[in-house]
Amino acid sequence: MSHSKPTPLVPAGPVRPGRGAAVALRPVVAADVTGGFWHGRREVNARVGIPQGPRLLESAGNLHNLRLAAHTARGAFRGDYPFMDSDVYKWLEAAAWRLGASGGAADVELAAQVDRITALVADAQQPDGYLNTWFQVTKDGRRYEDLRWGHELYCAGHLIQAAVAHHRATGGKELLEVAVRFADHLDSVFGRDKQIDGFDGHPEVETALVELYRETGERRYLDLAGYFVERHGHGLLGGEAYCQDRLPLRDQENVEGHAVRQLYLLAGAADLATETGDRGLLAACERLWAAMVATKTHITGGLGAHHDEEDFGDPFELPNERAYCETCAAVASVHFGWRMALLTGDARYSDLIERTLFNGFLAGVSLDGERWLYVNPLQVRDGHADTGGDQSARRTRWFRCACCPPNVMRLLASLEHYIASSDSDGLQIHQYATGRYVGEVAGEPVIVSAHTDYPWSGVVRLSVEDGPADRPWTLSLRIPQWCAGHRISVAGQDAAATVSESGWLRVERRWAPGDEVTLELDMAPRLVAADPRVDSVRGCVALERGPLVYCLEGFDNPGGGLDDIVIDAARPLAEESRPELLGGVITVTAAGYRRTVPNDGWWPYRAPADLTRTPAAQHTGPGDGALVLTAVPYYTWANRQDGSMRVWIPTR
């Protein structure tokens, strides 16, 4: 099996719009993150995260199940879910992107593991292309009898994505052949006039099929994806929002139901709109993204308000301690958002991607790459009674339902592909990360490299390495939504540049190799409040600095827990560089105090005056009881001890 990397004539990442696609922007043809913040996180992913996969998949039974299906092992099916296979596929996808990024040769051991596990997958596949170990082993192969919960097509989707990644990143065809066989099987079974008119209760295969179409050129896969997207919402699975079956996307006014299902479906819909130019579907995607962001998104980018059913709540129902914010939903949000960014050219999609990556997503994996959060709450109370299990507020080695860890691995391993794009006018930098990005402007390569200590520093130095010399083109830089001020200099001189409504700062000029651009973003720590309809955080503020949301942890604020802490929002914030802390962070400090509650009654609801008419409760100044509150980036929480945490801090 060869891992020689083909010359990247076309974008090599997870999303590759077709030649005729209705996109505003196209992913760059090559990208490499070479240093800085994300490089560090990706190195942990590459050195610790991904390599532990085979061992964990073995111990959790996933690989054993493949052998059972292949009749090369005996025993009982292991694990509790019909989607155990998808963990394997997501890991294969992560490994494939890693092999692509490292050039292949550097990861001989990893490549061998990929080959070994690919062979297990191929062996488990049935002659007609079907593959799901749960149904093969425990259900006598009775297929598609439980589309609502069976996850057979969901697993197929992850297999297809892994196969596309492997082919795209390494040129390897073994997994792609397995995926094509499964896709052909699905195409032979599912359709209005075929054996089964239905779809999977957990979307995922839709976006995967579009990418398989892009990879193979086989139009049937695109059509099948279109069929699946359109059949949602007509009650075929019983009409539940949970399964994305209450309404067609075209009729939905807001996101609903199971958050990951909704977002994977939207990613597929955006892919379809990309390839077909379907303006109705595009409008639905834009409308649902906007409603989601305005009414159902936590400040961390986290999505999903309910533990029960893992679903979205009502608009502005955004709890803190019971925020669900599944790590997979953060991954899915990035998938959906990136497709929308390319499709529309609107920078606000990448604003949310940035916020999600640095906060709601990155919190899902520990700094050491070995422990995970499935659920990402915004508050853990003093004395929190943790029930353990997958939904624990404590980092866990692996989950019974282990969907999140390999999802984190695959996004980190392919992250360089979400950073830059190009169009006929030039190159766009969506995210700030040290690296090298190769776009294409009217058939000519444009190469820009970036150097930055972002998100600690707001200074980003960009160098034009190559590009058309005979005519002007535009370098576009995203000015983040959170940024109160910015400055740009080109070749050492302050430059005036327009900022588009969606946030693109555009510099058009005749660039020469070696031209340097310096962007400075105002990184002063700041207070943020919420739309007053977010009842859960009324009278509170959050701390942010750059793209990072901060939180208080009990660990840094000892002496009585966090439940009684109040921030003095009128006093200035400060920051401190702490290279020794949590892998190197900048902390934010604020003035505050500890509230004391009158302890003179057994019932906690009383006349307002009774609750405030004590000196301690009226305390607002820096006198007795004044505290310095120390906040750390949210993505670093729960890496030192299990304890209390809060993002939103009361102001009185």
Residues in contact with a second copy by the rule CB under 8 A? 240-242, 256, 290, 293-295, 297, 299, 306-309, 313-317, 319-322, 348, 351, 379, 381-385, 387, 391, 481, 484, 526-536, 538-542, 563-564, 569, 595, 597, 602-608, 611, 617, 648, 650
Would you say 391 or 422 has its CB closer to a second copy? 391
Tell me the C-alpha distance between 562 and 555, whole Å: 10
Question: Of these residues, 403, 404, 540, 551, which one is catalytic?
Answer: 403
Question: In angstroms, what CA-CA distances link 214 with 16, 161, 169, 219, 454?
Answer: 7, 11, 14, 9, 34
Question: In angstroms, what CA-CA distances link 200 with 186, 196, 212, 545?
Answer: 11, 11, 18, 41
For 96-165, what is the HEC assignment? Answer: HHHHHHCCCHHHHHHHHHHHHHHHHHHHHCCCCCCCCHHHHHHCCCCCCCCCCCCCHHHHHHHHHHHHHH
Would you say 106 or 569 has its CB closer to a second copy? 569
- What's the order of all strands across the beta sheet hosting 426-429? 26-27, 420-423, 426-429, 473-478, 504-509, 498-499
Tell me the C-alpha distance between 431 and 543, whole Å: 21
Would you say 309 or 425 has its CB closer to a second copy? 309
The residues, ordered by sequence, that sit 6+ positions from 193 with a Cβ below 8 Å of its Cβ are none
CB of 624 vs a second copy, minimal distance in Å: 18
Would you say 329 or 446 has its CB closer to a second copy? 329
Tell me the C-alpha distance between 412 and 185, whole Å: 31
The residues, ordered by sequence, that sit 6+ positions from 570 with a Cβ below 8 Å of its Cβ are none
Could you give the 3-state DSSP secondary structure of residue 64? helix
CB of 265 vs a second copy, minimal distance in Å: 17
CB of 148 vs a second copy, minimal distance in Å: 15
Would you say 197 or 531 has its CB closer to a second copy? 531
575 is annotated as an active-site residue: no
Question: Of these residues, 204, 256, 310, 416, which one is catalytic?
Answer: 310
Q: Are 331 and 411 in contact (CB under 8 A)?
A: yes
Please compute Rg for the chain using Cα positions: 25
Residue type, 620: T
Across 178-321, where does the E strand assignment appear? none
Would you say 9 or 607 has its CB closer to a second copy? 607
The partner residues of 626 in beta bridges, in order of sequence, read: 593
Nearest to 557 by CA among 591, 585, 599: 591
CB of 575 vs a second copy, minimal distance in Å: 17
310 is annotated as an active-site residue: yes
CB of 586 vs a second copy, minimal distance in Å: 20
Would you say 13 or 257 has its CB closer to a second copy? 257
Give the residue numbers annotated as catalytic, written as ranges.
310, 403
